[in-house]
Amino acid sequence: MERKIRIVSVKFSESELEQIDKMAFKTCRMRSTYIREVVLGYAPQERPSEDFNEVIRQLRYLNNNINQLTAKAHSLGFIDDKKYEKQVRQINSLIIEMKRKYLLGENRNGSNKNMGS
């Protein structure tokens, strides 16, 4: 990473600085890092919610179960279709939930903007 050696002074109003500080906090960045990224054309993303992290934990758990089923299938020469299909349904359900919650958003009455997947 290139060392930062040049300082540029920029003036902001109190309200502008408050807004910058809020966005820097939401994206887990220092003020200067946030400003630098925005000026250079990056779009810093807010840190994921705890709900998002919980969904990731669930996906990891389901992935581990599928890996165990695969290992069992290889050792026994067959797969337990019911267990496999249950895991796949759970993963698909979580993926749909994630799309609805994190990609489609909600309108003011609480329903999804676009229910198509």
Binned at pLDDT 50, 70 and 90, residue 103 comes out as low
State both tokens at 31: 């003020």
> pTM of the predicted model, to two decimals?
0.48
Residue 22 has pLDDT above 90, yes or no: yes
SS3 letters across 70-114: HHHHHHHCCCCHHHHHHHHHHHHHHHHHHHHHHHHCECCCCCECC
- For 31-79, the pLDDT digits (tens) are 999 999 999 998 888 877 788 888 888 888 888 888 888 888 888 888 7
Rg (CA), the chain: 22
CA distance 116 to 42: 29
Q: Tell me what pLDDT residue 16 has.
A: 97
